[in-house]
Chains A and B, each alone.
Chain A
């Protein structure tokens, strides 16, 4: 697991990370979102025991990043912003080298390398120089390197960037598999659709500070307000007589549709459906208005910049 408290990093006068508090449990995926230079990479580097925090503390896989840097690095698999591959090696040599660095036995290195190369579809290219690989192949190999020692904690910076949709899907499936096997995962990504699909918790970081943190639903609720639902009817129907439960506000209505805002969907939505079923309305669809992470992110960023401009 990963825990941080007041984690901060200052380079001379520049505060790169300022008072970050995070908690990621085993089997959870946390996505760190933010602009370039927001402090994501610095945070990940502190979690990898590469940078010493200027203030606060962080524990990764049960080890303090300052006191037990070596143990932290042994327990973490990192996919860095740049692939960091040795271009004159081939994939087998490369994975074998890192397998040795992580003190894996020869047999374990061989079997892990073969499995990962097979999974990522690199077996045929495994004897070719990495310099000859495409961008996507390099990304997959870098990911394989991060996983070679089956780490308990994975820190992945843009795991699917430069990948074709098929490969990206493969990587997402692997991340989901790792999550189900109780790995603790942190993803830094600009791909919000991917984050929506994968992350259990999301933290939005701006100028080194976490602006917002929580599950996708919590963020949507906090930023975009309570959810809105649209009810569509198969035939014209007058909804004026409909009695809505408390906590449900009617926003608009047409002859064939109705839009409502629901404070507590879990409690109120079944009641709305019950109320509708007792009328002559022929309900064709009952769906939540689409509210994406992108909307949340852009709104949070706009508000943060707005506050900054006022100051």
Chain B
């Protein structure tokens, strides 16, 4: 194992030496490490003077951690360029083939590049932060507490890992450096949005949420590393030469996977859809399990957080709420606003949103959306209990009739998204990343068109025409 790791160091060492001999990499890095903290320090001094006039101590407290986060982030953006060209740059220069022809394993090459990609910007970021801390320690500004500092360092590390691992995935999958640089916006834009969110959390001062952000960014970064290794294939690094979008090939690959040589609709349902469903079966079991957990979490959260509010409410208020609940809804009006097509489209949109969220996050966000949807059921259950209304009759009349189709449809659709995320991070020999994604999308579409859509359509009809009547009887 030590010998194998040695080769990782070897690849990383060569890359590092190359970087340190390139003034185009070194110059901006040195400028950012030395000059940017000075600028930020000056900015902080001016801001402190300004805010002191208004006694805005809270903002002052948050200013230094915010500056540290920004100072740590900037060197990472420069090294993103280096990470982006790690593989595709070598391909363009023709140096990749001797390296790929050598007895190096895929993971050794990948981690060698990743190590340098992460280590260089992080070193620059840490140095920059240290320099800034030295400067502020000589002034009146207070250094953030240890826990915040740990959080900021981890956040910087998570940002670097996320950006570099994403850049390396792009580098492996791109055919030219130009294409890789253009694709970099897929890294920069989400991270910029993420940074804004984190800045808000920093000023808000909610450490717990920031810890969650650190964990979330780290999980996505690790999944990206996994995706990179799973789809790192020497063949595709050398094989592809052009960047043109081949719509014909995209459609043909998708369609042939969707139809999968089925002669008739019956045959497609029996064989093609059946096979696709069997593939996602483990994911279905998993989402059923998640459903139980989410319902409990929703129920528990409401019981813990809402009961206090209800306890503080006056008996008159409670009475009014209960009366509102028991108010007979205007059935005709309800049908007009919640017609079957409306309900169907709404649920279908939710399923597509789960897919979209799952696609960009290797199913993590998709599953979170699903958990929120299911968790709501537990929450409503708990609220009714807290209001002293028995939830079971309402649940049996208002949820079960259409829910018996809608909830399994939601589960099956979410399981397809979960399967998609897991399959993307799983190595698939002999297939390009594009082929894998198209095949998985075809699988998702099979499940969606063949199972989820019919179930949601039936559920919408029941919800529009049967559920209100039943609910009306129960509420009476």
Q: Using a CB–CB distance below 8 Å, which chain A residues touch chain B?
A: 11-12, 45, 48, 50-52, 70-71, 73-74, 76, 78, 80-86, 88-89, 93, 97-98, 100-103, 142, 145
Pair A101/B102 contact, Cβ less than 8 Å: yes
Contact among A52, A70, A93 with B430 in the assembled complex (CB-CB below 8 Å): A52
In the assembled complex, how far is the CB of residue A258 from the closest CB belonging to chain B, in whole angstroms? 54
B residues 1-29 near A (Cβ < 8 Å) are 3, 7, 10, 14, 17-18, 21-22
Pair B238/A45 contact, Cβ less than 8 Å: yes
In the assembled complex, how far is the CB of residue A100 from the closest CB belonging to chain B, in whole angstroms? 5
Q: Indicate with 1 or 0, residue by residue over B78-107, a CB within 8 angstroms of chain A CB atoms.
A: 000000000000000111111111111100
Chain B residues, Cβ within 8 Å of A145: 98
Chain A residues, Cβ within 8 Å of B97: 50, 78, 80-82, 84
Pair B95/A85 contact, Cβ less than 8 Å: yes
Subset of 15 A-B contacts with CB under 8 Å: A48-B101, A50-B234, A50-B238, A51-B238, A70-B105, A73-B104, A74-B103, A80-B101, A84-B95, A86-B95, A88-B18, A97-B10, A98-B98, A101-B103, A101-B104
Pair A97/B14 contact, Cβ less than 8 Å: yes
Listed from nearest, the 10 A-B pairs whose CB atoms lie closest are A82-B94, A74-B103, A84-B98, A88-B21, A78-B101, A80-B97, A73-B103, A101-B102, A84-B95, A48-B101
Pair B103/A70 contact, Cβ less than 8 Å: yes
In the assembled complex, how far is the CB of residue A228 from the closest CB belonging to chain B, in whole angstroms? 45
How far apart sit A70 and B234, CA to CA, in the bound complex (Å)? 12
How far apart sit A82 and B249, CA to CA, in the bound complex (Å)? 30
Chain B residues, Cβ within 8 Å of A73: 101-104
Pair A80/B103 contact, Cβ less than 8 Å: no
- Chain A: which residue is nearest B22 at the CB level? A88
Cβ-based interface call for B266 (8 A): no
Cβ-based interface call for B235 (8 A): yes
B residues 179-225 near A (Cβ < 8 Å) are none
How far apart sit A281 and B430, CA to CA, in the bound complex (Å)? 71
A80-B101, A88-B17 provided; 19 other pairs, C-beta below 8 A? A12-B249, A50-B97, A50-B101, A50-B235, A52-B429, A70-B105, A80-B94, A80-B98, A83-B94, A84-B96, A84-B98, A84-B99, A88-B21, A93-B17, A97-B10, A98-B98, A101-B99, A101-B102, A102-B103
Pair A86/B239 contact, Cβ less than 8 Å: no
In the assembled complex, how far is the CB of residue B250 from the closest CB belonging to chain A, in whole angstroms? 12
Pair B94/A103 contact, Cβ less than 8 Å: no
Given A51-B238, A103-B3; A86-B14 close (CB under 8 Å):
yes
Q: Indicate with 1 or 0, residue by residue over B220-251, a CB within 8 angstroms of chain A CB atoms.
A: 00000000000000110011000000000100
Q: Which of A50, A76, A142, A145 has the most CB of B within 10 A?
A: A50
Number of residue pairs across A and B with beta carbons under 8 Å?
Answer: 75
Q: Indicate with 1 or 0, residue by residue over B413-430, a CB within 8 angstroms of chain A CB atoms.
A: 000000000000000011
How far apart sit A89 and B14, CA to CA, in the bound complex (Å)? 9
- Chain A: which residue is nearest B11 at the CB level? A101
How far apart sit A97 and B12, CA to CA, in the bound complex (Å)? 11
Chain B residues, Cβ within 8 Å of A81: 94, 97
Q: Indicate with 1 or 0, residue by residue over B28-42, a CB within 8 angstroms of chain A CB atoms.
A: 000000000000000
In the assembled complex, how far is the CB of residue B97 from the closest CB belonging to chain A, in whole angstroms? 4
Pair A101/B22 contact, Cβ less than 8 Å: no
Chain B residues, Cβ within 8 Å of A45: 238
Pair A101/B7 contact, Cβ less than 8 Å: yes
- Chain A: which residue is nearest B240 at the CB level? A11
Pair A51/B101 contact, Cβ less than 8 Å: no
How far apart sit A102 and B6, CA to CA, in the bound complex (Å)? 12
In the assembled complex, how far is the CB of residue A176 from the closest CB belonging to chain B, in whole angstroms? 24
- Chain A: which residue is nearest B15 at the CB level? A86
- Chain B: which residue is nearest A76 at the CB level? B101
Chain B residues, Cβ within 8 Å of A102: 102-103
Chain A residues, Cβ within 8 Å of B14: 86, 89, 97
Chain A residues, Cβ within 8 Å of B102: 73, 98, 101-102
- Chain A: which residue is nearest B14 at the CB level? A97
Chain A residues, Cβ within 8 Å of B235: 50-52
How far apart sit A88 and B19, CA to CA, in the bound complex (Å)? 9
How far apart sit A102 and B249, CA to CA, in the bound complex (Å)? 40
How far apart sit A219 and B430, CA to CA, in the bound complex (Å)? 37
- Chain B: which residue is nearest A94 at the CB level? B14
In the assembled complex, how far is the CB of residue B83 from the closest CB belonging to chain A, in whole angstroms? 18
Chain A residues, Cβ within 8 Å of B238: 45, 50-51
Q: Which of B7, B93, B96, B249 has the most CB of A within 10 A?
A: B93
How far apart sit A86 and B105, CA to CA, in the bound complex (Å)? 20
- Chain A: which residue is nearest B100 at the CB level? A50
How far apart sit A71 and B103, CA to CA, in the bound complex (Å)? 7
Chain A residues, Cβ within 8 Å of B234: 50-51
How far apart sit A78 and B97, CA to CA, in the bound complex (Å)? 9
Chain A residues, Cβ within 8 Å of B429: 52
Q: Which of A73, A74, A85, A102 has the most CB of B within 10 A?
A: A73
How far apart sit A195 and B340, CA to CA, in the bound complex (Å)? 78
Given A51-B235, A51-B238, A52-B235; A86-B18 close (CB under 8 Å):
yes
Chain B residues, Cβ within 8 Å of A76: 101
Chain A residues, Cβ within 8 Å of B96: 84
In the assembled complex, how far is the CB of residue A242 from the closest CB belonging to chain B, in whole angstroms? 59
Q: Indicate with 1 or 0, residue by residue over B305-329, a CB within 8 angstroms of chain A CB atoms.
A: 0000000000000000000000000
Contact among B10, B22, B239 with A100 in the assembled complex (CB-CB below 8 Å): B10
How far apart sit A81 and B94, CA to CA, in the bound complex (Å)? 9
Q: Indicate with 1 or 0, residue by residue over B422-463, a CB within 8 angstroms of chain A CB atoms.
A: 000000011000000000000000000000000000000000
Chain A residues, Cβ within 8 Å of B430: 52
